[in-house]
Amino acid sequence: MTQTTKSFIVLGILAALLLTPLILPDTAFADKLTDAIAKTPVGTGKGQIDPKAAPGYLGIPGGPNVNFIVAFLWAVWVGWIFSTVGAFGGIMAGVGHISVFGLGTYAATFKDTSPVLNKVITDSIRVSNQFLVGMSALISSINYYKMGRLVVPLGIALAIGSMGGSYLVPLLTAGKVSFKAYQGYFGLFVLLLGCWMLYETTPAGAAKKKAAKAAADAFEKVMKEKKAGANVDTRELGVKIVEFSASRVRFTFYGVEFHFNPLFPVIGGFVIAAVASFIGVGGGFLLVPFLTSVSGLPMYLSAGTSAFAVLIGMITSIFSYIQQGTIVHWSLIGLEMAGIVAGSILGPYTSKYLPDKALKILFIVLAFVTGIDYFMKGFFGVKLLPGG
């Protein structure tokens, strides 16, 4: 049995674990939702529920009905952005559920009239984001591994740490976070990320990552030669493990050598997964800067390695959320995951033709736009952009 075959078997098992909750009936945690609805004032006004209204999101009478075409197309975008830069899939999934689909605005209406229902919808948004990221991470991990752009030992070290943080946070926060607080912290974390990535574009930030730049330049040069018709076997230039021990791992990528101490990514994985699980995203938006800044990897390696670590974290976090009774809109998630598959397959094959700098600029713009908007809405109630 080849190493590639073994990897596919392992990833297949992880995929099965990720998709297992989909076989649960929609009524698995119906009592929790029924109780929340029963405690909500009856009526047709804001923050009220009209029992005669048609069921919408989660089956709530009068709840928003998500346009499935829009949901599918947005999921394609989520899958593409995550598989391209190894991050921002969860952020974009969150933007979709909160603003594009209007679930954030709907949840916010129950802030004062029905805090329990407000938190039920908020938790549903959090775990829904992670289902999408988990599927994209699975597909991206397979594709990047085949391309020689996944540092497996580093991904495993991050995953080991992420399992602890991913399980602990849902256990401690499920049913306790209001939508307003969630949106505010969501924006704050993304905004801080944008500031850090912007710093990396300065001369001071760039000077710390000479090896990453050399590897990125070498990769881009080979891709241009290949595009021009040159016969280049890129598999031989991909990640090659040179040394592996409990305290030091060395590997090469396109002739440039990198090394790391496995202990640091284990610790980093725990902290990043805890933050990501709290705001209901994959953690790639923190893993990528961790890998490019702390570990000094080029973006081309960070995407695949981040995807693998996110996959493990998502399986753990989803399991923990479901265990706490978090309710999921299964039909919507199923459709979105189909869109994720399409976007995730396209991402790795299009990203190799995009300059490393262009990917970072895209990352920074998305971080600032999303971060500032959600931070102001969540903590100050100020809307800078339309939507929830």
Confidence at residue 231, expressed as pLDDT on a 0 to 100 scale = 64
Whole-angstrom Cα distance, residue 352 to residue 149?
11
Beta bridge pairs of residue 257: 252
- Stretch among 35-39, 248-252, 280-284, 368-372 having the lowest mean pLDDT: 280-284
pTM for this one? 0.79
Q: What mean pLDDT is predicted for residues 197-217?
A: 70
Q: What is 293-360 written as a DSSP string?
A: IIS---HHHHHHHHHHHHHHHHHHHHHHHHHTT----HHHHHHHHHHHHHHHHHHHHHHTTS-HHHHH
- How would you label 149-173 residue by residue, b for 16+ Cβ within 10 Å and e otherwise? bbbbbbbbbbbbbbbbbbbbbbeeb
pLDDT top residue among 362 and 364? 364
> Sign of dihedral through CA atoms 363, 369, 374, 380?
positive
Confidence at residue 367, expressed as pLDDT on a 0 to 100 scale = 84
Confidence at residue 381, expressed as pLDDT on a 0 to 100 scale = 85
Q: What mean pLDDT is predicted for residues 283-301?
A: 75
pLDDT top residue among 283 and 3? 283
pLDDT in tens, 2-38: 544 444 444 444 444 444 444 444 444 567 888 999 9
pLDDT top residue among 381 and 57? 57
pLDDT top residue among 118 and 13? 118
Q: What is the mean pLDDT of the chain?
A: 81
* Joined tokens for residue 354: 């995009």
- Residue 259, classed as helix, strand or coil, is strand
Task: Tell me which residue has tokens 């033709």.
Answer: 353
Q: What mean pLDDT is predicted for residues 215-229?
A: 67
Whole-angstrom Cα distance, residue 212 to residue 259?
12
Confidence at residue 227, expressed as pLDDT on a 0 to 100 scale = 62
- Stretch among 72-76, 144-148, 227-231, 314-318 having the lowest mean pLDDT: 227-231
Provide the residue type at 217 as one letter: D
Confidence at residue 375, expressed as pLDDT on a 0 to 100 scale = 92
Q: What is 64-89 written as a DSSP string?
A: ----HHHHHHHHHHHHHHHHHHS-SH
Residues 379/181, Cβ–Cβ less than 8 Å: no
pLDDT top residue among 15 and 184? 184
Confidence at residue 358, expressed as pLDDT on a 0 to 100 scale = 76
> Sign of dihedral through CA atoms 228, 229, 234, 237?
negative
Q: Cα angle at 84 between 259 and 353, to 5 degrees?
A: 90
* Joined tokens for residue 350: 């299009």
Confidence at residue 310, expressed as pLDDT on a 0 to 100 scale = 87
End-to-end CA distance of the chain, in Å?
A: 51
Q: Between β-strands 256-260 and 249-253, what pairing exists: parallel, antiparallel or unpaired?
A: antiparallel
Residues 370/190, Cβ–Cβ less than 8 Å: yes
pLDDT in tens, 60-110: 999 999 999 999 999 999 888 877 766 678 888 998 999 999 999 999 999
pLDDT top residue among 86 and 153? 153
Q: What mean pLDDT is predicted for residues 331-339?
A: 91
**Residue 213: closest CA among 248, 250, 259, 258:** 258
Confidence at residue 11, expressed as pLDDT on a 0 to 100 scale = 47
**Residue 282: closest CA among 116, 82, 125:** 82
What CA–CA distances, in Å, run from 332 to 74, 85, 138, 201? 12, 25, 19, 39
pLDDT top residue among 55 and 25? 55
Whole-angstrom Cα distance, residue 295 to residue 292?
6
pLDDT over 60 (residue 1): no
Task: Tell me which residue has tokens 């999934």.
Answer: 93
Whole-angstrom Cα distance, residue 163 to residue 313?
6
For the chain, how many residues are written?
388
Q: Cα angle at 100 between 97 and 105, to 5 degrees?
A: 70
Confidence at residue 222, expressed as pLDDT on a 0 to 100 scale = 67
